[in-house]
Structure 1
Amino acid sequence: MAEPEEYSEAVALLENLQLSTTQEDLLPSLDAVLSFLQKFSGEDLDSHTHGFVECGILNELYKNLTQGTGDLQLKVVMVLAELAKSESVRKACVDKGFVPLLLNMLKSTEDITLATQICRALGNICYEHDEGREAIDDENGLPVLLDLMRSHLKNEDPAASRLRLTACGYLLNVTNTNDKMLEKALTEGALDLLEQYVWQHRGDREMCNMALLAIGSFVDTDLCQHKLQSSTLCSTIVSLLDTKLADCYENMILELFISLSEIDDLKDILADTNLSSHLIRIIQSNTGRLDDGSQQTIKMASDLLVLLLTGDKSMEVMFSKGEGLVFVETVKWLESDSAHLQLSAALAIGNFARRDEHCQKLVEQGIVEKLLNVIRAQSNPEGDITLQHAVLSALRNLAIPVSNKSVLLKAGVIDVVLCLMPSETMAVVFKLLGVLRMLIDNQEPAAVQLGKNREFVTRLVEWCDVDEHAGVKGEATRLLASLIKNSHSADVMRNVVKADGIEHLVAMTVSEHVVMQNEALVALTLIVSAVLEDVAMALKQSDLTESITSILQKEETIPEIICNTLKLTKIICSAATPPTNQMIPCSILACAGLLSDMQSTLKEDIATSGIASLTEKLTNHQDDKVKEAASSLLTTIQILTTER
């Protein structure tokens, strides 16, 4: 409760109001209250309005509003609007019954000034106040407001401009963050009405900004997003950027479209406008300015461009066969002094590179060297990891088309991106691994070069063990398998064995992802075909037998995986057994010094593990290739058992 000295003046003003019995006396008393309230804001206003309410001012206002006419009603509503700016007063206004009273007045009055103040009072009562909104809804107040807005859409009376602005603010307050009121307003045609306001009054900065704010309150709703797809509102908003007041609308429009650009269908709609050229103009006009406002505008405009590029149609429109304004400008940004523009450029190029023909065009235009220059500049410990991530994403996409791989390899992409190998940022590592995996696909010399790099293979195996980032762990293991598959090099295979990478390939054979299972099985098959003597110990220690058993006994395992598993098993079982006196060093069993005939031990495990019975069942599989592979392996196991 406010202390007496804090509101003694309020008490005196209220007493004077209570003693006033005629309209002539009431008007100056209300003016005095109004002037007093207008001196305060924030917490000061709260404390003083609280004093007024405690002393019963709402009773006086209600009495004079119901009994008075003309100027007296107007003045009462003005005081009420001022009081309702205070959060603590809004519920009391609802409880006193002002909402239905004000709405009835709004329906019947033809006085623009009174209507303006009623909208102001109601807007303040429901500002961040759901009880106020519910009270308005109980009286079906939204249609009353929208009808008022329609009736004054083209009113040229100077006072109508203020009414339109205030009514838009009231609409914003009564709907904002309230799903029920938002949906009702949309159903009643609020979106179309706001578009008409924007178009009709595009030369009125305050009016358009308020309308844009109101539109912004609707855009997160499903109903609004649905309606936008069949309306011309987006085009109308973009048209504001063609007016003399474009600078005044820019940030509001950027914020609004950033929200809308998450919706795929709306990206296509925006692609059909000249929004992208406006965004380029906005960025160009603010480039070189170092003030926070200009930098923020550049960030918003470039962010919006990148968001638009995530849509297929909008990306195609802006690429325009490599000649589009957006494409040409974003390429220039790679050499910008602005880190954010460099980032936007890399993200844009990554989006353009979602289609193979674009990738080829980009590479032909020399984009790779520009991206590598950014990587070189950012490869130090203080490098911008967000920029590193974006450039690597672009390079990965560019490396997908077969025709581009040799060009990227010749440009030295592998050596440049490997400078990021020390990175501890897993998002960067994930993209680095993706670039390398794309580059070495069907590129044997590159796979051999990378696989013979002992430092890299060691680091790669470490990444295979990163449990906190499943993406890095999966991508690292896939790259490990890819090195073996694409190099066909025994030296690379031995590097993988020495780096303890086999256990990760074995674990990958039981992955939930079929593609990864297959990649692991192919890699292991190549390894045991070429260097079984080097890998036998690692395969045994990695529980390969258990993995094979797990794959073969699952009914849901697809035929391709079964066949590749059977093939791998057969190669191990078919391998020539070394002489019994051959000894294989084993660092793990150093206490024993040497371990004999690990290949034979591995084959023995397979022969006694139950794999034979699983294989026998598979000879009756419905898939002919599985039957054939199972029969072949079963014969080999039987021979192996006989030899024992």
Structure 2
Amino acid sequence: MEGATAKKSISLETLVIQNITNMKELKAKLNDIIKTGKDYDYDVSSCIKSLVNSSDPEIVLLSVQAIAELSKCEEKRESYAHKETIVPILNLLKKDITSERLELVKQSCRALGNLCFDCDNGRQTIIDCNGVPILVALLQKTIENSMEGSEDIKLLVSKILLNFTIGGKEMCELVLENGVVELIHRILVSELSKDDMSDSLVTTVVMLLSVINDNLHEHQFSDDINSAVLSILKESTNIEITELCLDHLHMQAEHDAVKTLIAEQGGVELVCSRLEVLVGRRAVGDLTTEDAEVEAIMKQACDLIIIVLTGDEAMDRLYASGRGPVYRTAVKWLSSTDSRLLAAAVLAVGNFARKDQYCIQMMEEGIADKLLDIFSTHHNYSVNQESCAAELGTAVRIQHAAASAIRNLAVPEQNKRAAALHGRAAPLLISALPSIRPQHVAYKVLAAVRLLVAGQDSVARLVASDPAALSAISGWGAAEYAGAAGEAPRLLAACVKQLRAGRQLGSFVQVEGCIACIVNMLVASHSLMQNEAILALTLLAIESLKPKTPTTPDFDYETSFISQLVKSEIGKHVSVLMGTNCAKMPVEVAENLLAFLDITSKKGDVASDYKEAKVDESLKKFLDTRNDLSDNLKTVIADVMSTIANYGAE
């Protein structure tokens, strides 16, 4: 061949091996293949498949070893991932482990492990040949057999099962059905009893658990296995094992029972302690591990702490009436200069603040002030456009966590009063609203302010007197983000309800967008929100449309209110509300709505909008559908229908 050196053809190389009659030469050839390994140039799979069934034990050993080496190559692996190869190897693994067969078993395990590494054909062939029970039986033998070399085989079989389960859900289910997890538990317990556990074996079996977790998301392992993994985490300082244990426990902590188990067995205290050690060592430059690995572990550790705290029983145990070591650690970390510990602390406090009793205790302890300091610092940092993306991301995360925790603390009535008397929380959060950009942060801040408004006139007046804040709130009401868009009109409605009357309500009319924001809530999916919108619009209508007096300000509230109602398509919103809620609208909600329609339908532009949107027809349908309406309410409905229908008539 011009320009290249011709290689022997595949068939010729096969013939060469097939024609070797001298056993010594054949063994030499197999040794040569083994030595060359995955770089061997020729496909001699047909020969090897034949030789693996040889009656000569040494030829069988060399053939299996050759398969193990050749299968390291992805291309060659496919040539051997068939029954002709895998069945003889499985048959070899069925037999007892003896000192004479030790090397053969090891090489058979290596070959099988390589044949199902990233190879669906190999895995499927193992399934088709009923290989999983054979592998499980072999693993059990290695656990029960203390002879020299059994530890090596135990590791190799575990690696086969790992490569096998990586294939997906079916493989993981087969492994579970055949009792592998019980054997893993025995392995972990055995390793824990040793002075020097095998990092390779522990890494492999815990990784096997993680693969099952990944593929069978709903599977909950037994308390025994989860406790064993937690014990491994306590005993091992190996970075890879630590990461795997944290990963396993985090995935298992999706189940409340596992959250409780981790809390009961000191898992969260352990993780907190490990975090502090890592932060301390890093601060003094005493870590040789790559930064990315340390970051990954610290993130996993923080995530595990938080997910355990989302369990009610686990959270109660760890709070321990405010004396729990984990809670006290979280409070301590609120003053940390390390962003990871600080973020974990704020999230932890937010989770502890799910019970009113705990919220009240935390408010008395001054936790709210710490959170406000944290929110203020990181809000100011997040609006600094000169910061790098990573720093901004961290600042936003902590800002969001702080806002969320403050929101939780504001739930109990006692805390609302305390916050209003203290006078710091509401002004800080309200003043931050115009400069908040991330929607998830806005959502939590809007929710926190709304809770602070409830029952507190002073907070409602603060919102009403801040045009920039009102503009920001109405802007979030028009945003596409469900969380902030849902909270914004509720906050405006809560302020209007709290103020009820007085010219301060005019602030909501003067700031463009507030009326439309509340009108949009008429078609919210929850009747509570619909009623909040109706009540707020009614109060605003009463205030804006009342007769002018000599002391009335120059601003024309009536014209502005009517104009904004029409621009927000009030008629369409009312028609949709009536059309979708005829049968289920509570009478008290209907009464509020009729009061609003009675007031506003007397204004020409609004009546025109109602007529165009066929609000009178919607009212007729509502009247015909219901038999629980009072005579007085029926009269009001008839009057409003008549006003709308007759609008514009000569």
Q: TM-score if structure 1 supplies the norm length? A: 0.85
Q: Deviations over 1:221-269 (max 9, x none)?
A: 44x84451x4411011112234366766322201222222233443233
Q: Percent identity?
A: 25
RMSD of aligned C-alpha atoms? 3.2
Q: Secondary structure at the match of 2:435?
A: coil
Q: Secondary structure at the match of 1:232?
A: helix
Match of 1:159 in 2: 149
Q: Is the 8 A contact 2:477 2:489 kept in 1?
A: yes
Q: Deviations over 1:331-388 (max 9, x none)?
A: 2222212112211111111111111112112212211111112122212324511111
Match of 1:593 in 2: none
Match of 1:280 in 2: 272
Q: Deviations over 1:550-597 (max 9, x none)?
A: 434543441243222112223446x8xxxxxxxxxxxxxxxxxxxxxx
Match of 2:551 in 1: none
Match of 1:65 among 52, 58, 66: 52
Match of 2:510 in 1: 498
Match of 2:484 in 1: 472
Measure, in 1, the Cα distance between the counterparts of 2:208 and 2:5. 41
| Distance of aligned partners of 1:485 and 1:80 in 2 relative to their CA distance in 1, 3 Å threshold | same
Displacement of 1:623 after TM fit? Answer: 5.4
Q: Is the 8 A contact 1:447 1:486 kept in 2?
A: yes
Q: Is the 8 A contact 1:81 1:122 kept in 2?
A: yes
Q: Deviations over 1:435-459 (max 9, x none)?
A: 1111111211110111111221122
Displacement of 1:548 after TM fit? Answer: 3.4
Measure, in 1, the Cα distance between the counterparts of 2:58 and 2:157. 21
Q: Secondary structure at the match of 1:509?
A: helix
- 1:219-618 to structure 2, matched below 5 A, reads 219-222=213-216, 225-226=218-219, 228=221, 230-243=222-235, 249-290=241-282, 291=287, 292=291, 293-378=293-378, 379-380=380-381, 381-382=383-384, 383=392, 384-409=395-420, 410=422, 412-417=424-429, 418-419=431-432, 421-466=434-479, 468-500=480-512, 501-533=514-546, 534=557, 535-554=561-580, 555-560=582-587, 561-572=589-600, 599=603, 602=606, 615=619
Measure, in 2, the Cα distance between the counterparts of 1:211 and 1:200. 13
Q: Secondary structure at the match of 1:476?
A: helix
| Distance of aligned partners of 1:175 and 1:628 in 2 relative to their CA distance in 1, 3 Å threshold | same
In the alignment, structure 2 segments of 5+ residues that lack a partner are 385-391, 547-556
| Distance of aligned partners of 1:188 and 1:486 in 2 relative to their CA distance in 1, 3 Å threshold | same
Measure, in 2, the Cα distance between the counterparts of 1:547 and 1:251. 54
Matched, 1:134 2:124: yes
Measure, in 2, the Cα distance between the counterparts of 1:81 and 1:328. 55
Matched, 1:218 2:212: yes
Displacement of 1:11 after TM fit? Answer: 12
Match of 2:549 in 1: none
Q: Is the 8 A contact 1:11 1:52 kept in 2?
A: no
Q: Is the 8 A contact 2:433 2:469 kept in 1?
A: no
Q: Is the 8 A contact 2:220 2:255 kept in 1?
A: no
Measure, in 1, the Cα distance between the counterparts of 2:573 and 2:397. 39
Q: Is the 8 A contact 1:464 1:474 kept in 2?
A: yes
Measure, in 1, the Cα distance between the counterparts of 2:457 and 2:572. 32
Q: TM-score if structure 2 supplies the norm length? A: 0.85
Q: Is the 8 A contact 1:421 1:429 kept in 2?
A: no
- 1:193-208 to structure 2, matched below 5 A, reads 193-202=183-192, 203-208=197-202
Q: Is the 8 A contact 2:571 2:613 kept in 1?
A: yes
Q: Is the 8 A contact 2:619 2:641 kept in 1?
A: no
Measure, in 1, the Cα distance between the counterparts of 2:427 and 2:321. 31
Measure, in 2, the Cα distance between the counterparts of 1:636 and 1:245. 76
What letter is aligned with 2:375? I
Measure, in 2, the Cα distance between the counterparts of 1:210 and 1:352. 36
Q: Is the 8 A contact 2:309 2:351 kept in 1?
A: yes
Q: Once structures 1 and 2 are overlaid, which stretch shifts more, 235-244 or 17-26?
A: 17-26
What letter is aligned with 1:539? L
Measure, in 1, the Cα distance between the counterparts of 2:486 and 2:134. 60
| Distance of aligned partners of 1:238 and 1:6 in 2 relative to their CA distance in 1, 3 Å threshold | farther
| Distance of aligned partners of 1:113 and 1:627 in 2 relative to their CA distance in 1, 3 Å threshold | farther
Displacement of 1:490 after TM fit? Answer: 3.0
Measure, in 2, the Cα distance between the counterparts of 1:143 and 1:516. 59
| Distance of aligned partners of 1:60 and 1:119 in 2 relative to their CA distance in 1, 3 Å threshold | same
Measure, in 1, the Cα distance between the counterparts of 2:641 and 2:25. 112
Measure, in 2, the Cα distance between the counterparts of 1:443 and 1:98. 79
Q: How many residues are matched?
A: 602
Measure, in 1, the Cα distance between the counterparts of 2:4 and 2:304. 54
What letter is aligned with 1:191? V
| Distance of aligned partners of 1:476 and 1:15 in 2 relative to their CA distance in 1, 3 Å threshold | same
